[in-house]
């Protein structure tokens, strides 16, 4: 087996500086929470820990400017960390000055400073529930996921918070401060905030249709009932921020007539549908794997094969059994049209076809197919890709990585002592831990990364264009953050950890070899003490 290529020095330096910038951002985010919420020992502890991690990385990656500032910050925080005493005004000013210098420090090697924009900090979430204890608990949960959340006590506090900083999310009890009063209060979000705000309403009564209707009219994008958990709330936010229908539908047109194919392509492109034209039917399977269309438009008669023949070939691949196929042909014989439909087609449009009919038929069938496909390839509990699909995505990404000569890393993760969680705390708690890790991974990995539930308590991550060291660093940071989470259990707070193994694609490794190498590295992590990430020795 070939050894992985050694990344060049410029690439390594870029990865190192990116890692340190992430640490700096994290320190600044915690400081902002401390300044906004007031003195809290837990937040001070988090700031102290984040500063220590920044110092370690800056020294490790030989960035002396950042290391010097981080060391000063750690020295300044140490007595505050030990005494748990609030900062006075002069100390606050000193701390702010130090953090501003850290934020503006150049990421280039050397002791010079370079003025750069302060990093944009994420907008907070405002929680307004009649049950104050529930609101506080939800805000604390969201903080574990890195979301700055504030439980607000009354309408005045909400109005003041809106003027200070526009939120990314508002969770509003329909009865906040009085029966039905939350609806009117929430309408002020649209009057004050110029940026989009996700507005979710809460009601104790699940069957209260009148409240749901009023919430919809007030701009509500979701309705919550019962006990609201951070994991389910963040999942809802993710759906609002990145809905699947925002990604253009993809349609593949296979027609030997370039003129007809281009005409259909222009019509569909004009309404935002991403299309690809193929005039050589024998290249169909390769193009399908590369383009991954939501729908296929197929000509009936082509020189190298007929449309029904090609449809049968495509249907032989289980991956495309549910792909909608629409015939577009001048054939007007109804019996021949029906015969073609029996050979794997879903619809038949006769040329010349009205533009509106083509667009409507394609859009409706493609959108429905995407919705159904999403449900077929997703794990029902976690919402991640299922075992079969994550391996298929790994194969696709491996092919693209080889073609583009780009790195690709693959990781296997496994929750530590998960059987003990189920046995001691029950399967509902086990399901909650699985869902939380799934959400944690979705939040902290890129949208280009593919995440799947490999089986049971085991997860898989495909990381395109990622070197082995970078993948290891990202996963190790996620591991550390996940280990800090506390799950409320009956007798005591529950903490869970995971172990992981990561491998990089080299040579002619196939999917099963990649999975096997990652699994061996995971096995080494388990036997090395758990709660760690190991790189495959290849």
User: Tokens 């002069």, residue?
Assistant: 90
Domain count, the chain: 4
139 and 59 fall within a common domain: no
Residue 28: half-sphere exposure toward Cβ, Cα within 13 Å: 19
**Residue 253 confidence (pLDDT):** 92
Q: Can you give the pTM of this predicted structure?
A: 0.55
Residues 6+ apart with CB under 8 A from 91: none
Residue 262 domain flag = yes
- CB 503, CB 409: distance < 8 Å: yes
**Residue 117 confidence (pLDDT):** 40
Residue 2 domain flag = no
Residue 275 domain flag = yes
**Residue 92 confidence (pLDDT):** 62
410 and 323 fall within a common domain: no
328 and 236 fall within a common domain: no
- CB 373, CB 318: distance < 8 Å: no
176/179 Cα distance (integer angstroms): 7
148/155 Cα distance (integer angstroms): 20
237 and 254 fall within a common domain: no
Q: Calculate helix-pair angle for 284-291, 387-404, nearest 10 degrees.
A: 100
32: how many CB neighbours lie within 10 A of its CB?
Answer: 16
Residue 119 domain flag = no
Residue 4 domain flag = no
pLDDT tens for each residue of 484-514:
777 766 566 678 899 999 999 988 888 899 9
67 and 152 fall within a common domain: no
Q: Which of 340, 375, 410 is the last residue of a domain?
A: 375
Residue 459 domain flag = yes
Nearest to 319 by CA among 297, 298, 292: 292
**Residue 459 confidence (pLDDT):** 95
Full DSSP string of 413-454: EEETTHHHHHHHH-HHHHHHHHHHHHHHHHHHS-TTSEEEEE
423 and 452 fall within a common domain: yes
267 and 354 fall within a common domain: yes
363 and 397 fall within a common domain: no
44/50 Cα distance (integer angstroms): 10
Q: Which of 334, 350, 375 is the last residue of a domain?
A: 375
**Residue 319 confidence (pLDDT):** 82
391 and 522 fall within a common domain: yes
Residue 474 domain flag = yes
466 and 506 fall within a common domain: yes
SS (H, E, C) 265-319: HHHHHHCCCEEEEECCHHHHHHHHHHHCCCEEEECCECCCCEHHHHHHHHHCCHH
CATH code for the domain of 202? 3.40.50.2300
Locate all alpha helices (DSSP H) within 165-221, ordered by sequence. Answer: 181-186, 188-192, 209-217
522/536 Cα distance (integer angstroms): 8
Which whole-number Å values give the CA distances from 39 to 83, 122, 218, in the listed order?
13, 20, 36
Mean pLDDT split into 10-residue runs, the chain, 538 residues: 48 64 75 62 70 79 77 74 54 66 52 38 79 82 70 85 79 83 80 77 76 80 75 66 66 89 89 90 88 90 87 87 87 82 84 87 89 81 88 89 90 92 85 86 84 93 91 89 74 81 88 91 91 85
**Residue 394 confidence (pLDDT):** 92
Phi-psi region of 272 (alpha: psi -120 to 50; beta: other; left: phi over 0): left
Residue 111 domain flag = no
Locate all alpha helices (DSSP H) within 193-283, ordered by sequence. Answer: 209-217, 230-241, 258-270
Nearest to 347 by CA among 319, 366, 323, 325: 325
Peptide bond into 506 cis (omega under 30): no
**Residue 245 confidence (pLDDT):** 46
363/271 Cα distance (integer angstroms): 9
**Residue 390 confidence (pLDDT):** 92
Task: List the domain range (segments joined by +) for residue 220.
Answer: 125-241
237 and 334 fall within a common domain: no
Q: Which of 218, 241, 264 is the last residue of a domain?
A: 241
User: Tokens 């708690």, residue?
Assistant: 429
485 and 457 fall within a common domain: yes
Strands 149-151, 325-329: pairing kind: unpaired
CATH code for the domain of 434? 3.30.70.270
């Amino acid at each position: 087996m070939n050894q992985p290529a050694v990344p060049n020095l410029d690439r390594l330096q870029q990865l190192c500086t990116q890692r340190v910038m992430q640490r700096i951002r994290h320190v600044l985010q915690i400081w902002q929470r401390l300044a906004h919420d007031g003195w809290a020992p837990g937040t001070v502890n988090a700031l102290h820990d984040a500063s220590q991690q920044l110092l370690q990385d800056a020294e490790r990656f030989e960035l002396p400017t950042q290391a010097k500032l981080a060391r000063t910050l750690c020295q300044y925080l140490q007595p505050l960390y030990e005494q748990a005493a609030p900062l006075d005004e002069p100390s606050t000013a000193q701390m702010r000055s130090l953090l501003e210098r850290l934020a503006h420090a150049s990421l280039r090697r050397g002791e010079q400073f370079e003025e750069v924009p302060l990093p944009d900090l994420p907008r907070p979430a405002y929680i307004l529930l009649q049950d104050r204890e529930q609101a506080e608990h939800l805000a604390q949960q969201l903080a574990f996921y890195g979301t700055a959340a504030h439980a607000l006590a009354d309408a005045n506090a909400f109005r003041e918070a809106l003027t200070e900083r526009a939120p990314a999310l508002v969770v509003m009890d329909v009865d906040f401060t009085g029966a039905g009063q939350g609806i009117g209060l929430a309408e002020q979000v649209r009057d004050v905030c110029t940026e989009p705000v996700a507005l979710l309403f809460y009601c104790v009564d699940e069957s209260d249709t009148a409240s749901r209707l009023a919430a919809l009219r007030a701009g509500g994008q979701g309705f919550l009932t019962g006990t609201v958990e951070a994991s389910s709330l963040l999942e809802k936010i993710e759906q609002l921020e990145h809905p699947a229908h925002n990604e253009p539908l993809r349609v593949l047109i296979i027609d030997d007539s370039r003129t007809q194919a281009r005409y259909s392509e222009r019509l569909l492109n004009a309404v935002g549908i991403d299309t690809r034209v193929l005039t050589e039917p024998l290249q169909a399977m390769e193009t399908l794997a590369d383009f991954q269309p939501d729908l296929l438009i197929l000509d009936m008669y082509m020189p190298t094969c007929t449309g029904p023949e090609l449809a049968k070939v495509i249907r032989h691949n289980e991956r495309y059994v549910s792909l909608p196929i629409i015939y577009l042909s001048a054939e007007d014989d109804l019996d021949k049209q029906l015969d073609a439909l029996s050979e794997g087609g879903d619809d038949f449009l006769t040329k010349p076809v009205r533009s509106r009919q083509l667009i409507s038929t394609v859009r409706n069938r493609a959108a429905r197919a995407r919705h159904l496909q999403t449900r077929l390839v997703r794990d029902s509990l976690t919402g991640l890709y299922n075992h079969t699909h994550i391996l298929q995505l790994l194969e696709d990404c491996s092919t693209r990585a080889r073609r583009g000569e780009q790195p690709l890393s693959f990781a296997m993760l496994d929750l530590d002592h998960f059987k003990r969680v189920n046995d001691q705390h029950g399967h509902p708690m086990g399901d909650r831990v699985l869902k939380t890790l799934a959400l944690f991974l979705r939040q902290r990995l890129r949208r280009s990364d593919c995440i799947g539930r490999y089986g049971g308590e085991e997860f898989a991550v495909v990381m395109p264009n990622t070197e082995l060291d970078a993948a290891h660093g990202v996963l190790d940071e996620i591991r550390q953050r996940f280990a800090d989470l506390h799950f409320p259990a009956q007798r005591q707070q529950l903490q869970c950890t995971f172990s992981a193994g990561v491998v990089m694609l080299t040579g002619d490794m196939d999917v099963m070899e990649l999975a096997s190498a990652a699994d061996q590295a995971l096995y080494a992590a388990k036997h090395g003490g758990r709660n760690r990430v190991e790189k495959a020795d290849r």
